[in-house]
Amino acid sequence: MRADWYYIEDDETVGPTTLEDVARQIRRAGQSRFVWTEGMTEWTDARAVPALSQLFRTAAQPSSVAVSGRADLAPKQATVSQRLRNELIEYLTISSYLYVCFGSLMFYKATILQSDGIAFASFGIAIVKALVLGKFILVLHALKIGERKGGASVLLADILKKSVLFVVVLIALTVVEEIIVGYFHGRTSQEVLGEMAGGTLPQAFAVSILMLLILIPYFTFRGVADRLGEGALWKLLTERVQSR
């Protein structure tokens, strides 16, 4: 087998190695990798490479041939640049989704208060909250919070587990951040906690439920997309289908 493939693991370039060994390493890790070989214009997610996708679908036993070596600095730099770009796009996508959800809730609250003669306009708060929580979600993904290491799993169970876990962690991170910001503004932690989520336990619980309902569709989309493969779900949602 030709040993002319490279892949990225822990921000390090590994290779050259065979296509089968790349597939074996990816299956063992339980997550995809960026790969490159001669003829490819840039580093690409392994799930988008037809040759690797075929190996994943057939679950063929890979050969364990590996050749040690070092990759060129230029491909590695291109990979880092591409990863930063992908992470930026993912961050903006997550933040936009959160802003739509938070903005809709803010708009609903504003219409109710305005009917009672109370002016309320805090869409700027929705933007800030979306950007902050989007940052937290990206960090938690990088830390592989809630990721299952190897073995089979039920998609529905993974979606619910991740949604609940992320709600708990996001609330904790938000509380810590608000307390730190309040400290620099000369406010005590009691004052900060008294203003968060309305300052009452029922309102805090309601906010938690809303966050859970927001995250469940997000993890559903992400989980289904991962199971179908790179770009498959988006193609399914956007391609035209001839009606019968």
From first to last of its 244 residues, what are the pLDDT tens digits of the chain?
566 778 887 777 887 888 778 777 777 776 677 888 887 777 887 777 777 766 666 544 444 434 344 445 455 555 677 778 888 888 999 999 999 998 888 888 788 877 777 776 666 778 888 898 899 898 888 888 877 665 567 889 889 999 999 999 988 888 888 888 888 888 888 877 777 655 577 777 888 899 999 999 999 998 888 888 767 888 888 887 766 6
pLDDT of residue 244: 61
Cβ(97)–Cβ(218) under 8 Å?
A: yes
Cβ(136)–Cβ(170) under 8 Å?
A: yes
Cβ(220)–Cβ(159) under 8 Å?
A: yes
Cβ-based neighbours of 136, under 8 Å, separated by 6 or more: 169, 170, 173, 174
Name 5's bridge partners.
Answer: 17, 37
Burial class (CB in 10 A: 0-12, 13-18, 19+), 162: buried
Q: Element (H or E) spanning 15, and its range?
A: strand 12-18
Q: Element (H or E) spanning 103, and its range?
A: helix 73-115
pLDDT of residue 165: 92
pLDDT of residue 166: 92
Cβ(75)–Cβ(86) under 8 Å?
A: no
Dihedral pair phi/psi, residue 15, rounded to 5°: 140, 180
pLDDT of residue 59: 47
Q: Which of 49, 65, 61 is nearest to 17 (CA)?
A: 65
Three-class SS of residue 30? coil
pTM (2 decimals)?
Answer: 0.58
Q: Which two tokens stand for residue 68?
A: 């040690």
| Tokens 């921000």 found at | 11
**What's the rounded Cα separation, in Å, for the pair 28 and 45?**
16
pLDDT of residue 56: 61
The ranges assigned to domains in the chain are 3-71, 144-244
pLDDT of residue 198: 59
∠ CA 208-222-101 to the nearest 5 degrees?
Answer: 40
